[in-house]
Chain A
Amino acid sequence: MGEKILMKGNEVIAEAALRAGCRHYFGYPITPQTEVAHYFAKKMPEYGGTFIQAESEIAAMNMVYGAASAGARVMTSSSSPGISLKQEAISYAACAELPAVIVNIVRAGPGLGGILASQCDYFQSTKGGGHGDYRMVVLAPSSVQELYELVVDAFNIADRYRTLCMIMGDGMLGQMMEGVEFSDQEEIFKADKGWAVTGTGMTRENNMITSIYIDPEILEKHNLKLQAKYREITENETRVETYNCDGADIIVAAYGTVARIIKNVIKTAEKEGIKVGLIRPITLWPFPTATFEKYAEVPKAFLSVEMSAGQMVEDVRLSLNGKSPVHFLGRMGGMIPTQKEILEKIREILK
């Protein structure tokens, strides 16, 4: 580990990508993640890489499609309205099994919405914002340090499984500065990208990247292959943090920056003699269902706290499958749940 430095989340995203060997970035400006592009614009020339400000998010994601087809480690970043525009190419890339990293620094929606922190894109990211039966890995860091680590991991996961991998944060995480320590040597998974288009050199059969399978039998077979891959990812890559769960009176489910607020709540509640546990999904897809099953009988109830109208709570309910009551507390529009209201909700549930 090197020296600890104070850095903005968005800049850490770009720095982490460079350290992970990403030399191709395509994006389009949008608040609150513009600094990702600013950082790449400044640094990419030093690395001999490519930074392009595309004419739109649609174009940026298709540039990603091209660069990933060509075998590069590639990234794009945006925020909610821009991520919506990327969905077409996301679906195509998922079908063509292209590895790439997509960052969504979520802002409050729907529509043009606002620019403040939100988690309202949970459904879009985890249930497929584009068309078709596809999945992508969704990682939800809750600190700037973890942001760095997960961006590096995201590239590795993407290459290992030939999958799309999304980093989902919010404006708070992107904009805030925290101490971060970079490793001297990140672990980089070296994939054999024999499938990539590089030119045959007249030495091999030609490679083809496609997402069209007109023959239904072949398309079904391709879908089955994708599903098998998603099961493998679920088995190997599900990540979750549990905190204070054993013997908890209530377990809160929260991810990203909201989970940090819960850690404050846990301390305050302890003074009142209430034991609050936290399950923090780090992968939103694959969802840590098994962890919820494991703790299903422990607390009197579960509470999902989100900056949304209630999205992850559906996965919490599915995971618990009726074994425990599940409550919800959410704020929207860029409003952030306060410790105070979360505590009140907990008291009310436990009454």
Chain B
Amino acid sequence: MAIVFQRPHALKETQMHYCPGCTHGIIHRMVAEVIDELGIEGTTIGVSPVGCAYNNYLYFNCDMVQAPHGRAPAVATGIKRVHPDNTVFTYQGDGDLAAIGTAEIVHAANRGEKITTIFINNAIYGMTSGQMAPTTLIGQVTTTSPFGRKPEIEGYPVNVCEMLATLKGAAFVERVSTHDIKNLNKTKRAIKKAFQVQMAGLGFSIVEVLSTCPTNWGMDPVKSLKWVEEKMIPQYPLGNFRGKDLEV
């Protein structure tokens, strides 16, 4: 990959544990770069999810809290209300945010909680070995949809951004992807804006990042990126759903 930078200060030197070709790592790097660029490492507090990123509190140099499965937005709410001048973000997978944590994310957004959520949509439960996620595509085979996801039985993929964009408290909602450099750059811009929206006190902000799970998709890294582009984006169109014109 052509993007070779120095390690951002907000990221520790610790070796990350993600599988080869998993895009969790690059997203961490972009969050850290944004923290560096905004100069907020000393005032930022992150909340780790339960999912493959469960121990990303080991990777960031800012203060970090590990939350129960799906509850990161509630934990972040508690932190933010104690330290309203700090920047608080959650980092959550699609099982964490869109299944067990649906209530927490909806209500944090609806309260216009001034936090930022980085939402990793990889259409699967990575950590627990490839079960169906709410975001799993129709027909996608997983360990708990062994015959492919069928809408009659398992319902439809959940489009989180479209859903949250209906809430007044959600100030900034954008979906981005990791499948090529152009989109990685857009991802970073979106993350930066989401943090800025929070810092400007405008309300809740979320960036949904389409991400890969080569291990549980049973694909090599290159094919995984193609799968994001060809299969995921039609279900999860990229773009801004709220707050495009916010001045920050």
Contact = CB atoms under 8 A, between A and B. Distances in A.
A31 B70 contact: no
A45 B153 CA distance: 11
B140 interface: no
Given A29-B125, A112-B54, A112-B66, A53 B132 contact: yes
Contacts of B66: 112
B90 to A, nearest CB: 16
B68 A34 contact: no
A31 B128 contact: yes
Interface string A29-46: 111001001100110010
Interface residues of A, number: 17
Interface stretch (B21-29, B142-150, B174-182): B142-150
Interface residues of B, number: 23
Nearest to A55: B99
A28 interface: yes
B146 A41 contact: yes
Contacts of A38: 131, 143-144, 146
Contact of A34 (B69, B95, B128): B128
A29 B131 contact: yes
Contact of B128 (A30, A55, A57): A30
A37 B144 contact: yes
B100 A56 contact: yes
Contact of B69 (A41, A51, A81): A81
Contact of A112 (B68, B100, B128): B68
Contacts of A28: 99-100
Interface string A9-53: 000000000000000000011110010011001100100000101
Interface in B93-133: 95, 99-100, 102, 125, 127-129, 131-132
Among B68, B100, B144, B145, max chain A CB count under 10 A is at: B144
Nearest to A57: B100
A81 B128 CA distance: 14
A98 B213 CA distance: 40
B46 interface: no
A325 B154 CA distance: 56
Contacts of A112: 50, 54, 66, 68-69
Interface in A51-75: 51, 53, 55-57
B134 interface: yes
A37 B134 CA distance: 16
B100 A41 contact: no
A57 B132 CA distance: 15
A188 to B, nearest CB: 27
Given A38-B131, A38-B146, A45-B147, 12 more contacts: A29-B125, A31-B127, A34-B129, A37-B144, A41-B144, A55-B99, A55-B100, A55-B102, A56-B70, A56-B100, A57-B100, A112-B69
22 contacts: A29-B128, A29-B144, A31-B128, A34-B129, A34-B143, A37-B144, A38-B144, A38-B146, A41-B144, A41-B146, A42-B146, A45-B147, A53-B131, A55-B99, A55-B102, A56-B99, A56-B100, A81-B69, A112-B50, A112-B54, A112-B66, A112-B69
Chain A to chain B: the 5 pairs with minimum beta-carbon distance, closest first: A56-B100, A29-B128, A29-B131, A55-B99, A41-B144
